[in-house]
Amino acid sequence: MNFAGMIEHEHPMKTKLLLAGQEALKAQILDIKQQLTDLQESSEIEEKSSAGDKYETHQEMLNQSREILQKRLSTSKLMLAQLNAVSVKPTDRIQEGAVFEVMMGNIWVSTPYGKLAVDGKDYQLVSQDSPLVQALWGKKKGESSEFRGKPIVIKDLY
């Protein structure tokens, strides 16, 4: 199959969402790496200029910040890997890769990133474990389910 043939089977909006999500997560990863570098430089400067309790307290704070950033980095890398594995082919039911519209807005079942704006519209990127997605799992456009005690209708799905 040639490359042009593959594009025909992708939904254009899903492809845009994928690219925007990849860019956002890559930027997030670069930002966290820069923060880790800055933290390391701060640690080295502090090491040269102080000693005693003040130094140890500062080092402990740096270590805690480093751990938080390492966890964020790991999470961001995992989200990027999840995003890269999501299908951008059209679908007729709520499943991984589905983009759907409900009263609350536009949802893409992909990775738990949060809000992403594409072509002037906001999309919530959520995992398939999201309570909303679980309530609608397997449903088709026009079908409804109950979510938090209220009926929710799938207005659009692709």
- Tell me the pLDDT tens digit for each residue of 112-128: 999 999 999 999 999 99
Q: Is the pLDDT of residue 7 over 50?
A: no
State the burial class of residue 137 (Cβ atoms within 10 Å of its Cβ: 0-12, 13-18, 19+). Answer: middle
Would the pLDDT of 52 be above 80?
no
Question: What is the model's pLDDT at position 36?
Answer: 96
Q: Is the pTM of this model over 0.85?
A: no
The C-alpha torsion from 124 through 127 and 131 to 132, rounded to 10°, is 40
Whether 38 contacts 118, CB under 8 Å: no
Rounded average pLDDT over 42-47: 73
The rounded distance, in Å, linking the Cα atoms of 101 and 52 is 58
Q: At 157, which helix (H) or strand (E)?
A: strand 156-157
Q: List residues bridging with 107 in a β-sheet.
A: 100, 124
Residue 33 has pLDDT above 60, yes or no: yes
Q: Which residue has the higher pLDDT, 56 or 68?
A: 68
Percent with pLDDT over 90 in the chain: 79
Taking residues 82-109, what's their average pLDDT? 96
Given a cut of 60, whether residue 82 has pLDDT beyond it is: yes
CA–CA distances in Å: residue 61 to residues 54, 56, 120, 143: 11, 9, 40, 52
pLDDT at residue 50 in the model: 61
Residue with tokens 């043939």: 5
